[in-house]
Structure formats: structure tokens, C-alpha cells
Structure 1
Amino acid sequence: MKSISELHHQAVALINKKAYIDAHPLLVSIVKQDPRHADAYFLLGIINMEIGQAEKAVKLIEKARGLDTDNEREYLVYLLKAHSLTRNRQQVERLEADFSQTPTHEPLMLDTVGVALSTVGMHREAMPYYQQAIDLDGDKESYHYNYGIAAKFLGQFDKARQAFEKAIELNPHYVKAYFALTELSEPASHLLPVLHDLLKQPRNVDEQLHLAHAIAKEYEKQSRYQDAFNILTEYKQRTFDKLKYDQAAEEKLFEALHTKAQIPLQGSGCQSNQAIFVVGMPRSGTTLMERILSSHSMVCSGEELHDFAIAVKACSTSSSPRLLDTNVLEQAYQSQWAKIGEHYIARTAALAKSCPRFVDKLPFNFLYLDLIRRALPNAKIICMLRNPLDTCIGNFRQLFSLQNPFTAYSLDLDRTAEYYARFHRWIHEFDSLGHPNFRIVSYEDLVSRPEAQIRSILDFCHLPWQAQCLQIENNQAPVSTASKVQVREPINARSVGRWRRYQPHTDKIQAFFDRQGISTS
């Protein structure tokens, strides 16, 4: 039988190779032999973080901290990271305050803290950590990349560009830095030959998608829309063919939403009115609405919060690995509504420190409309609705994370149209229930008549008129969504009708929407 020391050494080596499944039983064996072996718990926490079990990681690393104070610094940093993955901003703020009390000269720790802060939307607070990491080790390309991403979210585009260019200088094969560079509005056509060469080399699916999207962005800047569409189609289809897209489960979830929404209201939820939910399909104007609302002196931005989904999952008894599926939904309707609402308000309490109201702008919260109605009956919900063709093209052109279970449809334009149709039917059926705190807002109406629309929206939210809500370009809050460049500009209608650039590729889905009775005009 191997000694604990041998098992520990072997487990560390496997984790460094990302062989998490192989490392796990070795660490379990250590814990069985020595239930007080702190580093075994810590490494089990690291494994759980890597496989997406952040809540388990939190408990394991907390256990390690309770057993060993010699490695407190390292354990603290990774506990902070684990809490960021659960989107627990309060805990991240608390642990960062503890970390900041003692200076460190370890660049990886500093960068890890920065990433954790960025994960919960604290990009401004993350910047000094990235800078310190760079000052200590300027040859690490990922430190420059992370700095650039935060700078981009903060609207500091020159700093972002310089950081991405430095990352590429240090590592000419750093695919994500190329993509990030092309996301900036200025043309970078000199990169096209390099991007094509990189795409010819053996790449994993994620890197291929990043490169294809980077090339497409540069084609679009040259008005080569057919070329952009074609390269996206080629590489998205390759990915879609390899992906296990469960359309039946998707349809089943939407049908369950319709069925559950008909259940009569029973009990009372949490009476807080702090949250203003902004929902809708991605690329439908949700970020624009968030910028309008967060320009108000009484409202701050929480950006894209996952806290309501986490509260629902925590208060249900579902053992499903997913945040939302039919099983989670079934269990949620057997939960106490006030408990879900209170859990959500507790998780978002840090946002209420500076403003009485906050915006929760997670587009896919439209899947939770009825749960929000029951758990937080006084919360306002604004649902953005945009022309289906513009929305579908916008989703198809967007690079979503392959780990996001809700966006697999976007790899195929036909599937995207079908998803939009389900979304369209669901929000209109929910609207027919007459919830007084729910409102559908047309993106086209908003950008064509901004003052009249914004006055009406503020009135709906019980907020007094403030002219600065019209000047979103003056809003200095970070933006970490796909619209991070556009929303630094004044409200405009330039994106209306953008789908026409991609004809005739849109003809098939336009005919589909006509058959569905969904207007495309």
C-alpha cells in the first residue's frame, strides 16, 4: 500500500496534467487514512472547481482551512475563486478584504484574485491585482490577457488593445487574445492571414470557434458579410455535429413552463422590490436597457447575475446537476416562495449598499418568469423583444461559451429560429397572465423613440424621471456582455435591420417565422 506522501505526490502530478478523474480516488484514499489531511481536502476542492462543482469546492476548501493555517494564504485565494464561481459576490468581497491585508509577491495568486473579482463583475477592483501580477511577471501572456479583458469591460479600449497585443507578442498562438482584439471596433485586417494560418493548424473545437468568429468579425468590418456568414456556418456546424444538443429536453422544459404558470398563485413571496429584472433573448437589447436603468441615481447594475437560478436550485430538493431542467422546475414549485425570494435578496445584498434598486440583467432569466412572479411579486420584470431576424442573426454571430447549457441552439441558424419561436410563445403567454410588474419592451420602439419610451419605463419601475438615462454613453459602470463596445455610444438605431446584410441566408428562417405567425417586418 502506498504511503500518504506517495499518494499526495501522485495526485498533485495528475492534477497538473488535468487528469482529475484519476487524481480523485487517490485523494479520497488519503482522507480515509488521515481525516485531518488538509491538503487532500484542498485538492479535492480544486478538482470539484475544475469539473463545475463549485459549491462542493467551497465546502472542501473551507474544511482544509479549518485544519491547516500554514497554507492559509493559498487556501484563501482558491476559496475566493470557488465563491466567485458560485457568483457569491458578498463572500468574494469579504475574502478579498482579508487577502488585501497582507501583501504578496506571488503573481499567480494576484492574478487568481483578479479573475475571481472579474467573475462577479468587480472589474475595476480586479485591475490593480492584474497590474501587480504583470509587474512581478511580465512574461506571462495570460496576465496581460486578463488585464485587457477587464480594461475592455471598463471601456478602456486603448489599454485593452495594448494588453492583447502584448499577450500575442509573448505567445503568437494565443487564440483568445486574437479574438479579443478583433472584438474591438477598429479594423485589424492585418491579422486575417495570421488567423487563417492558425485555423489551419490542429485546434480543439473551442479554439476553432474563437478563430472562426475572429475572422468573421474582420470580414464584417470590410463589409464581406457573405464570407463572414460562410466561415461561421462551416465551423459552427462542425461544433454542432459534435455537440449533444438535446432538443427534446429543451422542448420539454418550455412545455413545463407553460403548464406550471397556470397553477394558481398560493402563499406569498418575499416582498422586496429592490430587483429590476431585465430579460430576453441574447442580442435583443437587454444591455441597452440595463445601461438606461443603471444611469439613474437610484439604480445600480448587477450585470448578469446567476443568483436567482442559484436560489431556486438551493431551495429545491432536486439532485439534478443542472441549474434548470424539468426536475428542478418540478421541485421548485413545491418550495416556499418567500424562502426563494429571501435567498436571492440575501445573495444580492452587496448591491443594495450603494443604491435602493439594482438591475439583474441575465437574459435567460426569462425561463424563470413565473418563479420570479411567485418568489418576488414586487420585483419589476422588463422583457426585451427584438425583430426575430435581427435577434437570430445576432445570436448566430455571437460566440457563446460551449459550457453554457442554454445557448447550444446558436450553433445552427435554424435551431436558433426554433428557439426564438419558443421564447416568443412563452413570454406572450406569460404576459397574458396579467402580472402587473411584467412588461414587454420593443427594442425598435426604444431606439426610435428613446425619450418617450424611457419615461414610460421609469414610470413603470416607480422611478422619477432623470435626463441622464438618455445619455447612456456617460454611464461609467462596467459592461461585460457582447454589447460592451456599442453601449459606450449614444442610443441609436444603426443595428435595426442588420439581418438584411446576410440575405439570402435568412430566407429560410423568415419563411419559418411567417408560418409561425411571428412578424419579421
Structure 2
Amino acid sequence: MSKRQKKSRSPQAGGAATKGLKKAGPSREESVNAALKASYERLQRRQYEKAEVILRKALSELGRDPRMLGNLVAALENQGRGEEALTVARSAVEHFPEDAQSHNNLGAITKFQGDLAQAEASFRRAVELAPDYADAWRHLAGLKTFTSADDPDLAHMRDLLQRMPRNNPQRAAIYFAIARALDEIGDTDEAFTHFERGNRARRGTLRFSAPDLSRLISETIELQSAELIGRGPAEGAPDDAPILIVGMPRSGSTLIEQVLASHPDVEGVGEVPDLPRALDPFIDDPKFRMRSLSLLSDDELATVGKAYALSLKKRAPEAGRIVDKFLTNYIHLGTLHRALPNARIIHATRDPLDNAFGCYTTLFTSEVPFVYDFKEIAATIAESGRLMDHWKSVMPHAIHEVKYESMVSDLEGETRRLLEFLGLPWSDRCLDFHNTDRRVNSASATQVRKPLYSSSVGRWKRYESHLAPMKRALAEYGVIDSAS
């Protein structure tokens, strides 16, 4: 998906308007740019269906354009229509073989679908066509294995960073790509320098307020009280039983989803904003979101439950149970519990030092504004934990906590407990999760294609000499006992 307006590679409308003649209509390029702008705005608002309508109409009337095809890929992908997105991405590469962004889009789609060889080949082709394409370098660095400081790809990324203007927002992608390469070859000191600079560069483009989050959590706990939740299910609430995974990024949530999606009765749909979208019509002012939700009538709650359940069913029509891994759904669990009383929630948790470090060393494709600063990571771990403690106290039978370290050390035991909580029969396929063929659209898309490994447990210790600020932040917010 892109807003970049490049010079059109299609023929322009010929003939200049002469004085006295009626003003000509918009050129093809102007019409394409208008469609790009309109579709991008819909994508930013999570109005994916509307973006698709705009793009298909423009493509029909104006002909193929690689930028519009790229936005269409994003619109389809965000609707959970991965196969259609893949078809469009392949079509873009077929018709525009010299367009680097089309190859980058195809690489991203095939990476999510588990075809890592094709993904790497696509990213490689993208940087061959556009040697300074920062996002493609970031993707490529995330797939290949670096074994030497003399790797030519590492040298090229260093050179690119040197030539990039200081105010270029793409510097963050290159910082993280270089950091990952240095981490692999064991140069943790220089790797951390690049992680640190990459985080500063990315944080400067985002808006986040820890005090605002704290106020939201306090308001939610006050309004979504034990008394309100104790009123029980809304009259007319549907009996669908979706499975929601919530928690912090880099907490093992993708592993949990992959294990569950390997069960023959379960399908995972990834991180989809279907619950917030079902709630949006009932929120008059985002500043008073929780107040609006706390005043919903039974009929309105039932409407929310039906809309959410239906949207998930459209994504996985044949599934017995559906897993939604939109992590920030933790904010809305009280409303969900009354609107869909059979929904079950899995709270993914991880050692806070590893969790914080995992966030800090990841450049997220989606907008996750709190992960690029140690204090903001610590504040979010603390505040999300505070709200989850509240939910567990008012709806204890609906929530099951899964610790990442426990999954790694005792996969079968943890999986059996998880399936029992969900009312699902045992399946050996859950232990063979890395061979499950499905889309995984998250920062852990490559890791869950591998057998279970424990190298991520205690990973922060390799960088301990640099992490005093992280420890201080976690201690300040009460997430760990002390910074020593």
C-alpha cells in the first residue's frame, strides 16, 4: 500500500487545451492519484471494503496501475482474503515486472502464507530493481541468515544509511535491518546502537501518551465494574464462541494462535479489527468511548455480538471455532463478555524483560506506537496488566492465561490445559504446529514455521550491559521488583 505519487508509466492524455476551448477533464494520472488518495484514506480508517470498491472501479475505468494494485492487495489482505490478495499481487508483478514495489508486495504476501523461499526471491528482486528501497531491505534482512560482517548486503545497507537524509522516515527500516544482521553475527554492541537509533527514528513519527492510556484503563475499570458485568449476558446475545487472544506484542500470541489453528476444529484469522468495528457505530465521541459502551442496552449489546460473530464467520465460514488475535481487544473484554457470553479469552504473557526487549527490537509493519521507547513499553505492560487483573476478577471463568515460557518448556501440557479450557478435544496436530499451512500475518510469521525452540527465552541477557534504562523503566512502573 502506498501514497507515493510516481510519474505514470502509462500514456498521458494527448493534446493541450487551447485558449477558448472548454477545460479538459482530469488526466489519467490525476484520476489515478485521486483513487490512490481516496483508497488510502479508507484503508487508514479500516474501511477495507470501501477501499476495495474505489480501487476496482478505478482499475476498471483507468486500466492497471501498480500503485492501485498494491492498495488493492492491502484492502483484500485486511479483509482476510489472502488468496485473492496473492492473485492480485502476482498479477501486478506479471504486468509490471520492473516495479519494485509490486515485488515487495508479493514478497510480503508469500511470507505471510509461509512460502519463505518465494518471499525472499521477491524481496531480492525488489532491491535489485530499486537498490535504495528501504522497506524491501528490511524484509530481506528478516529472512536471510547473516554469518559475516563482510556480507555484501550488510555493506549495501550501511552505505544506504549513510546516503539517506536525516529526515527520511525510511531510516528506521534500515536501522532495524542492520541491527538484525549485526545481532545474527554476534556484534551485540553495534546492533544495540542501531536498534536504539531505529527506535528513535520510528517513535518520532507516532503519537502515544502513557498518561492517556492510564486514564483510559482507570475509566474502564470504574465503568465496567463487577456490578455491570454481573448483570450477565445481554438478552438476545448470540451463542457463538469465538476465541480471542489478547496481551502485549511479542508475548507468544502468534505461537498460541498457530497451535490452536493446527486443531482440525479451529481456524485462526490473525489480527483483525472486527470487534472495534462492531463497536464503532455505538460510540458518539472516541474521547468517551468506554462511557458509551457502558450504557449500551441489551438490544445494542446483542447487535454488537451478532455483528462481530458474523464478521468472523465471513472470514472463516467452515470453521467450528475461530481465533481472533487482535491484541488490543483487551480493552473491550467487558462489553464482549455481555455481548458474546460464550467467547473465551486467552491472555498471552511473557517474562517482562524478554517481552520489553522483544518489542524494542521489532519494527512493526502495523502502527504500534508504544513499542519504541522503554518507558512507554513499561507503562503499557503495567496498564494492560492492571486491566487484565480487573477482567480476571469479574469474569474469571472466561479467561485463561498462557505464559510463553511454559509453552516452550511444556508444549503438550500447556496445550492440553488450553484445549480443556476451550472445550476442545485433544489433537496431536497441535504439537506439529510448524507444519500447519496457513497465513500468519504478524511479526512472528517466520518463527512459527519452525519447530519449537527456546533461544528466545532470556534473550535480553545478551544485551544486559545496554539495558539499565529498560530495567529502570520496568521497575518504575512496578512490572519488576527492582532495576538491579
- TM-score w.r.t. the length of structure 2 is 0.84
Q: Distance in 1 between matches of 2:139 and 2:118?
A: 13
In the other structure, the counterpart of 1:378 is 342
Q: Shift in Å at residue 257 of structure 1?
A: 2.0
Q: Shift in Å at residue 14 of structure 1?
A: 9.5
Q: Distance in 1 between matches of 2:56 and 2:273?
A: 29
In the other structure, the counterpart of 1:187 is 146
1:4–1:176 distance in 2 versus 1, CA, 3 Å: farther
In the other structure, the counterpart of 1:168 is 127
Q: Shift in Å at residue 495 of structure 1?
A: 0.9
In the other structure, the counterpart of 2:6 is none
Q: Distance in 1 between matches of 2:158 and 2:182?
A: 12
In the other structure, the counterpart of 1:139 is 98
In the other structure, the counterpart of 2:219 is 256
Q: 1:268 aligns with which of 226, 233, 242?
A: 233
Could you say what secondary structure the match of 1:143 adopts? Answer: helix
In the other structure, the counterpart of 2:315 is 351
Q: Shift in Å at residue 505 of structure 1?
A: 2.5
In the other structure, the counterpart of 1:398 is 362
Q: 1:295 aligns with which of 234, 256, 262?
A: 262
In the other structure, the counterpart of 1:477 is 438
Could you say what secondary structure the match of 2:169 adopts? Answer: helix
Q: Does residue 1:445 correspond to 2:406, yes or no?
A: yes
Q: Distance in 2 between matches of 1:233 and 1:364?
A: 25
In the other structure, the counterpart of 1:504 is 465
1:389–1:347 distance in 2 versus 1, CA, 3 Å: same
Q: 1:417 aligns with which of 366, 378, 390?
A: 378
Q: What CA deviation, in whole Å up to 9, does each residue of 1:20-46 have, x standing for no partner?
A: 8xxxxxxxxxxxxxxxxxxxxx78844
Q: Distance in 2 between matches of 1:424 and 1:11?
A: 52
Q: Distance in 2 between matches of 1:243 and 1:236?
A: 11
Q: Does residue 1:9 correspond to 2:40, yes or no?
A: no
Q: Does residue 1:363 correspond to 2:327, yes or no?
A: yes
Q: 1:74 aligns with which of 49, 58, 75?
A: 58
Q: What CA deviation, in whole Å up to 9, does each residue of 1:106-146 have, x standing for no partner?
A: 66665554343223333333323322322222111111111
Q: What CA deviation, in whole Å up to 9, does each residue of 1:167-224 have, x standing for no partner?
A: 1111111111100000115227322221122112216553011011101110111111
1:258–1:426 contact (8 Å) kept in structure 2: yes
Unaligned runs of 5+ in 2: 1-19
1:54–1:367 distance in 2 versus 1, CA, 3 Å: closer
Aligned residue type for 1:337: L
Q: Shift in Å at residue 49 of structure 1?
A: 3.0
Q: 1:317 aligns with which of 279, 284, 291?
A: 284
TM alignment of 1:237-252, pairs within 5 A:
237-241=200-204, 243-252=206-215
Could you say what secondary structure the match of 2:215 adopts? Answer: helix
Q: Out of 299-308 and 130-139, give the one that drifted further.
A: 130-139
Aligned residue type for 1:132: S
Aligned residue type for 1:387: D
Q: Shift in Å at residue 492 of structure 1?
A: 2.6
TM alignment of 1:67-106, pairs within 5 A:
73-74=57-58
Q: Does residue 1:207 correspond to 2:170, yes or no?
A: yes
Q: Out of 380-389 and 114-123, give the one that drifted further.
A: 114-123
Q: 1:487 aligns with which of 448, 459, 482?
A: 448
Q: Shift in Å at residue 292 of structure 1?
A: 0.7
Could you say what secondary structure the match of 1:441 adopts? Answer: strand
In the other structure, the counterpart of 1:156 is 115
Q: Shift in Å at residue 378 of structure 1?
A: 0.8
Could you say what secondary structure the match of 1:382 adopts? Answer: strand
2:250–2:355 contact (8 Å) kept in structure 1: yes
Percent identity between the two aligned chains: 27
1:384–1:440 contact (8 Å) kept in structure 2: yes
Q: Shift in Å at residue 346 of structure 1?
A: 2.0
Instruction: Count the aligned residue pairs.
Output: 453
1:185–1:137 distance in 2 versus 1, CA, 3 Å: closer
In the other structure, the counterpart of 2:247 is 280
Aligned residue type for 2:323: V
Aligned residue type for 2:278: A
Q: Does residue 1:337 correspond to 2:329, yes or no?
A: no
Unaligned runs of 5+ in 1: 21-41, 65-70, 79-103, 321-325
Q: Distance in 1 between matches of 2:59 and 2:295?
A: 37
Could you say what secondary structure the match of 1:210 adopts? Answer: helix
1:482–1:442 distance in 2 versus 1, CA, 3 Å: same
1:244–1:127 distance in 2 versus 1, CA, 3 Å: closer
Q: Out of 287-296 and 256-265, give the one that drifted further.
A: 256-265
Two-structure CA RMSD over aligned residues (Å): 3.2
Q: Distance in 2 between matches of 1:203 and 1:210?
A: 13
In the other structure, the counterpart of 1:123 is 82
Q: Shift in Å at residue 161 of structure 1?
A: 1.2
Q: Shift in Å at residue 443 of structure 1?
A: 1.1
In the other structure, the counterpart of 1:436 is 397
Q: Shift in Å at residue 389 of structure 1?
A: 0.4
Q: Out of 445-454 and 257-266, give the one that drifted further.
A: 257-266
Q: What CA deviation, in whole Å up to 9, does each residue of 1:250-305 have, x standing for no partner?
A: 22112112212314233634233331001110000000000011001100111111
1:8–1:281 distance in 2 versus 1, CA, 3 Å: farther
1:274–1:356 contact (8 Å) kept in structure 2: no
Q: Distance in 1 between matches of 2:105 and 2:260?
A: 28
Larger RCO (CA within 8 A; separation ≥ 6)? 2
1:431–1:438 contact (8 Å) kept in structure 2: yes
Q: Shift in Å at residue 150 of structure 1?
A: 1.1
1:124–1:154 contact (8 Å) kept in structure 2: no
